[in-house]
A and B are shown apart, each in its own frame.
Chain A
Amino acid sequence: MKPLVASLMLFLSWGSHQAAICHELSGFIELEGWFFIHEGQFDGQERQSGSIAFQPEYFHEWRNGSSFTFVPIARLDATDDERTHFDVRELNLLWLQDRFEVRFGIGKVFWGVTEFLHLVDIINQTDLVESIDGEDKLGQTMIQLSIPSQRGTLDLFALPWFRERTFPGRKGRLRSALVVDTDNAVYGHEDKEHHIDLAARYSHTIGDIDFGFYHFNGTGRDPTLIPTLSSNGQPELIPFYELINQNGLDLQAVAGDWLWKLEAIHRRGQGDDFLAMIGGFEYTLTAVFETSADLGLLGEWAYDERGDDAATAFENDLILGLRLAVNDAASSELLAGFGQDLDSRARVIRVEGSRRFGNNLRLFLEIWAFIDQPEDDFLSSMRDDDFVEITLAYYF
């Protein structure tokens, strides 16, 4: 870590002589409170928890458009040791040329179009202890070559260092019934986390349609969780990371006020070959209720060929949602989703809203409820984990 800090200090001191646009330090610090409605199912789980996180971002841009980015994050959690963690989200150089660009270092890449599940997104590992919506990701070492042209964009990736998924610890809420032992992960390939994963993606916009498809060859980001006994005889889960080949497609079409969305994957190497998809729409109403607010109506259907065997909550589920953009000075927003498992009575409700206070503070509110989760369902271990999360973030 020390050479990193030293080189950063060097950048900072050198950058301070440059024009303001060329270098900047920004980021946020946030306080988070978790309030669970029920007692936990498992020993040691608390009704309340709190944490504090700090994520600065240093950015330096040269005159030719090449740039350097450094984004670390540190979180201290009051209850769960696994949630207390540090990660480098980004530490990379972007080399910009006329015909192509190369990103070298730790970076983050997002693929996908749907709201409630990010199926095709695969480059970065999910930081599951940060949030359960799968939108927080661990930094991934990469060499990315991006070649944009009139006929679309080709992205080629070499991903030399695999990141294991984070899982809540014994005292953490929103966990599986057996604790995942992240210190003893096993791999399908002898190179383990040093296997060099490869990916290629082509994406393009033709008229009202944006689409992309890719092939990924490497260590699967979703582990198979294998029940076993720990060294002191306790039952636990061990993450097993197989070598997979995955093809993915994402597509979005604009048709007037409608957006139509589709994500699909085909995976080989993790049990039987399977298909999974999520598709749906978003319809936007402008200036509703005689105000300047915009209201989006969302509907998505998720399907996984593995059915109940799938290590996912989305094997045959319908999700309906509302998105409200108030368009006020505080940029108030609300997104609500209601998910119904079409094979059982299981339902999930999630609501997330936020608004700004003053110029630098933003308050986030997130509510999740897990209703009628049957014993054999993926989310059964979270059936008592309905919660309210309040976050106050200061941006600088």
Chain B
Amino acid sequence: MNRLIILVILTAILLPITALAETPEEKGLVIALEAEKRDSGFGDSTSNMKMILRNRHGEESSRDIRIRALEVEGDGDKSLAIFDNPKDVKGTAFLTFSHKHKDDDRWLYLPALKRVKRISSRNKSGSFMGSEFSYEDIASQEVEKYTYKWIRDEIYEGAEYFVSERYPVDKKNSGYTRQVSWMDKKEYRPFKIEYYDRKNSLLKTLTFKGYQKYLQKHWRADEMHMVNHQNGKSTDLYWSDYQFQTGLSDRDFNKNSLKRIR
């Protein structure tokens, strides 16, 4: 947050100069900050997610997950993912406190044992429940977790996009060297992200579809499609029943709340 304030002040003071001499790195960061600013103030949200896993032979399996999120002032968001399907993992839940400047805190709830397990979040490249999404892909996308570089502007099907690269701050534990994102200039929504692995070859492509606006301000995609170019697998996410400002609070995102949920 401090860095953000300083940056805003600096930007305000230096605006006449930077407008002329903005480096690609500065421009990349400004775009990321603007995107974050536009989505701030959502408070809390609940939604349902259907996850379709597809292997290289086209065989599919699905998971149903309920997602709850809480915006946290000055730090990363809190989130809760509860599994409804398949039935053998029903009630399994992940609680995550994301942080801007250090590893996220993560707990796993195992309903059969009624056990809450703290789990390590150091390695971010692990698969989230067998999907092509890694933990760093589904985690809260805090601006501070990356450095940025604007590459070019691009026009695609009549809309204008910023094309930027971002580089993980925690290089050692990320699965990526860089990500290339396409963000529309009008609403600052991501439309495509390409993920480059640690050898800098293209690993995955994520595309967003069916953006809808909630509370006149918050854009959420109905569909996300992740394709892994190296293993031929893909994962689709279908989002539904988005609700905002439902009255969730800190007490819905603690270890006790894990034991209560079904």
Please, how many residues of chain A have a CB less than 8 angstroms from a CB on the other chain?
48
B118–A259 CB distance below 8 A: yes
Q: Check if B120 sits within 8 Å of A254, measured CB to CB.
A: yes
CB of B87 within 8 A of CB of A205, answer no
Q: Interface digits, B174-196 against A, CB 8 Å rule (1 contact, 0 not)?
A: 01000000000000000000000
A184 CB within 8 Å of chain B: no
Q: Say whether B89 faces chain A, with CB atoms less than 8 Å apart.
A: yes
**With known contacts A61-B262, A108-B114, A258-B120, A286–B256 Cβ distance under 8 A:** no
Evaluate contact between A327 and B126: CB separation under 8 angstroms.
yes
List residues of B (137-168) whose CB comes within 8 Å of A's CBs: none
- In the complex, what residues of B have CB within 8 A of residue A45's CB? none
Q: Which residues of A contact B (CB under 8 A)?
A: 24, 26, 28, 59, 61, 65, 67, 94, 96, 98, 101, 108-110, 112-113, 135, 146, 148, 153, 203, 205, 208, 210, 252, 254, 256-259, 284, 286-287, 292, 294, 326-331, 356, 359-360, 362, 393, 395-396
Neighbour of A329 across the interface among B53, B85, B255, CB < 8 A? B53
User: Given A108-B114, A252-B118, A292-B127 in contact, is the A101-B86 Cβ separation under 8 Å?
Assistant: no
B130 and A327 within 8 A (CB): yes
- How many B residues have CB within 8 A of the partner chain? 35
Contact of B85 among A113, A208, A287, A359 (CB under 8 A): A359
On whether A395 and B255 interact (CB within 8 A), knowing A254-B120, A286-B126, A331-B130, the answer reads no
A278: shortest Cβ distance to chain B, in Å?
15
Q: Which residues of B contact A (CB under 8 A)?
A: 53, 55, 59, 61-62, 85-90, 103, 105, 113-115, 117-123, 125-127, 129-130, 175, 251, 254-256, 260, 262
Given A110-B113, A331-B129; A153-B260 close (CB under 8 Å): no
Report the nearest A residue to B61, measured CB to CB. Answer: A329
Report B-chain residues with C-beta under 8 Å of the C-beta of A101. 256, 260
Question: Which of A110, A286, A328 has the most CB atoms of chain B within a 10 A radius of its CB?
Answer: A286
Q: In the bound complex, how far is the Cα of B89 from the Cα of A360, in angstroms?
A: 10
CB neighbours (8 Å) of B85 from chain A are 359
Contact A356 B115 (CB under 8 A): no
Mind listing 8 A-B residue pairs with CB under 8 Å?
Answer: A67-B260, A113-B118, A254-B118, A254-B120, A284-B123, A292-B126, A360-B88, A395-B90
